[in-house]
Amino acid sequence: MRKMKKRSFSELVNENKIEIMKDRGELERIERKLEEKHVKKAQ
């Protein structure tokens, strides 16, 4: 494991927010695909 420089709490929070925003976009895309599959099956 490489040693990371000590970061302030607010820096870590900001990094987490950025990661979550990226993941949220991906999650929404996946959810839409799943919904489309369920709609097709229901018809």
* pLDDT per position as a tens digit, 1-43: 566 678 799 999 999 999 998 899 999 999 999 999 888 887 7
For the question of whether the overall pTM of this predicted structure is more than 0.75, the answer is: no
Tokens found for residue 34? 């799943």
pLDDT at site 1: 53
φ/ψ of 7, rounded to 5, equals -115, 150
pLDDT at site 41: 82
Helix intervals (H) in 1-43 = 9-42
Any residues with CB less than 8 A from the CB of 36 and at least 6 apart, and which? none
pLDDT at site 38: 84
pLDDT at site 4: 64
| Pairwise CA distance, residues 43 & 37, whole Å | 10
